[in-house]
Amino acid sequence: MTRTLGPTAEQVRTMRQSIFSQISDEPPLVSRRVAAGGRGRTRIAFAAVGAAAAAALVVGSIFLPGGPDSSAEAATILNDAADLSIASAEIVAKSGQYLRIETHASYTNVGSSADGEKVSWVAPETTVVYKPADSDAEWVMERRQEIPTEFFGEGAEAAAMESWEDSKNSATQNGIFRARDAAFYGSPDPAWATDFLPRDPQKLYEYIRDEYNGGSTNADEDAWVRITALLRTGTAPADLRSALYSVAAMIPGIEIVPGGATLNGRTGIAIGRFEPARDERQDIIVDPTTGDLIGERTVRTVAGFGAPAGITRAATSVTTSVVTSTP
């Protein structure tokens, strides 16, 4: 059950300090909640809603343990995000309308300089998907490749611009595409089909674990990747987002990333999982006031291909709205 309490102005200031202390890597203020039938445990006061919304603190009641090696703070934040997802207003398209999902992405590409040295660069792209409310209507996708923005290694810029000349003219990477059931590339993308997924966190956790077929380094990485893939579609309904956050809290090895993260102008709390076999950490960035997913990123922890350690190898940010027409 979700309870709404009306805090004082001082309590609102305290809660906001708690949120942004996580982003600035300062020790957080905490609040204490007691689970029904259980002992009290410390939880981060994750969300404060401003005075325009009656200055209400939204507190959920999902209590799921983190994995055996998980950061307790990271699991707490994900469980709070699960609570907020249920309490937040759902973005719903009505008949004749579309969900407009705009994704800004950037990927680090690797190539060779004129001297044959391996170099790398950041290549952005923008994708806008229009998901119809009416099941018999066509989906629409608008996709475009953007000019490279960062270059690593001598000769990287020249290699990047040569590559971009090819990609910006590619008919499969740029343009407007229409298809039923999001089958833009021949078959429906399974990430968009979510109605059959369990909403109970434990059942969803078991389902995701059962889907592991050895394609990733290990089952934990596979589960984390599946969760982030579903969240970044921008169309997962509130009950599914809540369950996905709760399942993410169970994955071993998750940690709060110091300093938070800003994607496409929005700052949030970053929760990451490091995979030693790949020398990478995959993060999800959560809005501390709504529980919405701001985006996700993959960070390289070692230097290579002209780039220093700590470079973001891939990142996406997602914004969802409702519109009445498509391109």
At 35 the pLDDT is 28
Residue at 186 is within a domain:
yes
DSSP state of 17: H
Range(s) of the domain holding residue 250: 98-323
- In 3D space, the residue among 273, 269, 264 whose CA is nearest the CA of residue 287 turns out to be 269
pLDDT over 50 at 106, yes or no: yes
- Helical pair 238-248 and 201-210, crossing angle rounded to 10 deg: 70
Residue at 312 is within a domain:
yes
Least confident piece of the model among 23-37, 47-61, 109-123, 132-146: 47-61
Q: 305, 153 in Cβ contact below 8 A?
A: yes
Neighbours of 214 (CB within 10 A): 8
Q: 321, 91 in Cβ contact below 8 A?
A: yes
pLDDT over 80 at 77, yes or no: yes
pLDDT in tens, 201-228: 999 999 999 999 887 889 999 999 999 9
Distance of alpha carbon 227 from alpha carbon 205, whole angstroms = 10
Residue at 210 is within a domain:
yes
Least confident piece of the model among 30-34, 184-188, 259-263: 30-34
Q: 57, 15 in Cβ contact below 8 A?
A: yes
Q: According to DSSP H, which parts of the chain are helical? A: 9-23, 72-87, 156-167, 201-210, 219-231, 238-248
Average pLDDT estimate for 79-93: 89
Distance of alpha carbon 179 from alpha carbon 187, whole angstroms = 9
pLDDT over 90 at 63, yes or no: no
For the CA atoms of 227, 272, 90, 12, the dihedral, rounded to the nearest 10 degrees, stands at 160
Angle at CA of residue 283, ends 222 and 120, nearest 5°:
95
At 193 the pLDDT is 76
pTM: 0.74
At 192 the pLDDT is 72
Average pLDDT estimate for 231-243: 90
- 120: exposed, middle or buried (C-beta count within 10 Å: 0-12, 13-18, 19+)? buried
pLDDT in tens, 17-52: 433 343 344 333 222 222 223 322 223 333 322 222
Residue at 39 is within a domain:
no
Residue at 40 is within a domain:
no
The first and second tokens of residue 74, run together, are 């990271």
At 194 the pLDDT is 85
Distance of alpha carbon 298 from alpha carbon 285, whole angstroms = 11
Least confident piece of the model among 66-75, 180-189, 310-319: 66-75
pLDDT over 50 at 58, yes or no: no
Residue 275 pLDDT grade (very low, low, confident, very high; cuts 50, 70, 90): very high
Residue at 60 is within a domain:
no
Residue at 25 is within a domain:
no
Distance of alpha carbon 270 from alpha carbon 266, whole angstroms = 12
At 8 the pLDDT is 33
Helix (H) or strand (E) holding 319, with range, is: strand 312-323
Helix (H) or strand (E) holding 100, with range, is: strand 98-112
pLDDT in tens, 283-298: 999 998 888 899 999 9
Residue at 243 is within a domain:
yes
At 191 the pLDDT is 67
- Helical pair 238-248 and 219-231, crossing angle rounded to 10 deg: 150
pLDDT over 70 at 281, yes or no: yes
Total number of domains constituting the chain = 1
For the chain, give the percent of residues with pLDDT over 90: 62
- Average pLDDT of every residue of the chain: 80
Average pLDDT estimate for 75-96: 91
Neighbours of 50 (CB within 10 A): 11
Q: Which residue has the higher pLDDT, 255 or 19?
A: 255
**What's the Rg (C-alpha) of the chain?**
21
